[in-house]
Structure 1
Amino acid sequence: MTELKWDGKVNVDADQATFTFTVKNNSEQPIILEFPTSQFYDYSVYNAQGERVYDFSKGKFFLQALQFKTLNSGEQIQWKSMWNYKTNKAEKVPAGKYTVKAILNIWKINDKLVHSKPSTMFKFDIPPENTPFE
């Protein structure tokens, strides 16, 4: 297995959360990542009760074409996605604790099928409205 690291973090402000997803090649050799579509990642947001409140890919369409990304040793790629604290039905979620579960939507690494997509999970808080941010 390659030394591929998939990770995520969040930056929270008054109106939205900005998620940053990073894939990094920690091996000594270059690796070629193959994606089946133009969708490189997917994620869902869950509330403190474990209920899914938002799906990134729901209602979106992605180009159905193979995509290739080459990562040299130590190289990384980052993607950013903003979430406006609304469900897929455009309802604002309340302040509180939330969890993001994200997957790297990869199909092959160095021309070998990936049977288990890399995933990551992280938690964050949506503060009550009118809370100052530092």
Structure 2
Amino acid sequence: MNMRIIICIVMLFLTNILNASANGRDDLNYQVDVIPIAGPNQAEIEVVVKNLEEFPLDFEFPTSQIFEMIITDKSGNEVYVYSKGRYFLQAFQTITIQPHESIKRVVKWNYEFEGKRVPKGEYLIHTALKPISINNKPVQNKAKLMNNQKLYVPRVNEVFHNLKVSGTKGDYAISGKVKKQHKRLYYVVEDGHVEIVKESMIKVTGAKQEWEEFNIDIHIPKERLPHNATLILYLYEKNNEGKKVNIYPLVLERLKE
């Protein structure tokens, strides 16, 4: 092969490497997911870091804080900051995630800002993982560590009341009360991505009282249960246009491998 061609190939290869570094590319395969679950009185926000590689990933952090989370309203005003009022150990720590496994942290927010519940509506969750290195390599692609998700803060639910859930591993019993004038009531079960139990109608069994009782028994076959996911029951009614209203999410179970 002509020496000039060889030199050109080598220079092109080196240029690609330098460009990758300059552009902040990261050749390690991992994923940061944020899954918000908006309950009637608080949101539970799951931060999941998954290793998609065939070998372990060591995430090194300069303190015990592994992520930051800021929630803003539509105007960009901060209504929640995860680190505010928290104290973190000022020492390096390493979290190892095995191949195709994940770690999960849960943040709870009571919808309050400065002692008052925020107005219902859409909010934005900004989350950033905070490692300084992964497998002893400085983090190049900061964008890969970030995740933005929408969160809808509901109004105070005036339809469903006193909900309770029991059970595990696919068998669940749910009880609660509903205002008597609300009759077109339904539920589904999801894991944040996939519908596990299709839409079904809720049968109200109470007498003619202000709040009528209802019970739901759910059975999910073992082969349909997701791994490393949260099963969420969504209760709701439908208006005259068939649109879902007064949605009430209820966590059935957090499933692990």
* TM-score normalized by the length of structure 1: 0.92
1:110 to 127, 135, 138: 135
Aligned length: 133
Residues 52-85 of structure 1: CA deviation (Å, up to 9, x unaligned): 2111111221001111111121010000010011
What corresponds to 2:94 in structure 1? 68
What corresponds to 2:73 in structure 1? 47
For 2:116 and 2:130, locate their aligned partners in 1 and report how far apart those are by CA, in whole Å. Answer: 27
What corresponds to 2:149 in structure 1? 122
* Contact 2:42–2:111 (Cα < 8 Å) also in 1: yes
For 1:70 and 1:130, locate their aligned partners in 2 and report how far apart those are by CA, in whole Å. Answer: 41
Q: What are the ranges of 5 or more consecutive residues in structure 1 without an aligned counterpart?
A: none
What corresponds to 2:125 in structure 1? 100
For 1:60 and 1:90, locate their aligned partners in 2 and report how far apart those are by CA, in whole Å. Answer: 17
The SS at the match of 1:50 is: coil
- Partner AA of 2:48 in structure 1: T
Residues 83-119 of structure 1: CA deviation (Å, up to 9, x unaligned): 01112x3332111111101011111101112242600
For 2:54 and 2:38, locate their aligned partners in 1 and report how far apart those are by CA, in whole Å. Answer: 35
Whichever structure has more helix as a proportion of its residues is 2
Give the fraction of aligned pairs with identical amino acids, expressed as a percent: 32
Higher relative contact order (CA 8 A, sep 6+): 1
* Contact 2:41–2:156 (Cα < 8 Å) also in 1: no
Query: In the TM superposition, what are the counterparts of 1:17-32 in structure 2 within 5 Å?
Result: 17-32=43-58
* TM-score normalized by the length of structure 2: 0.49
Structure 1 residue ranges, 4+ long, deviating more than 6 angstroms after superposition: none
Q: What are the ranges of 5 or more consecutive residues in structure 2 without an aligned counterpart?
A: 1-26, 161-247, 250-257
Q: Residue 41 of structure 1: CA displacement?
A: 1.1
For 2:43 and 2:28, locate their aligned partners in 1 and report how far apart those are by CA, in whole Å. Answer: 31
For 2:61 and 2:115, locate their aligned partners in 1 and report how far apart those are by CA, in whole Å. Answer: 29
Q: Choose 1 or 2 for highest CA Rg.
A: 2
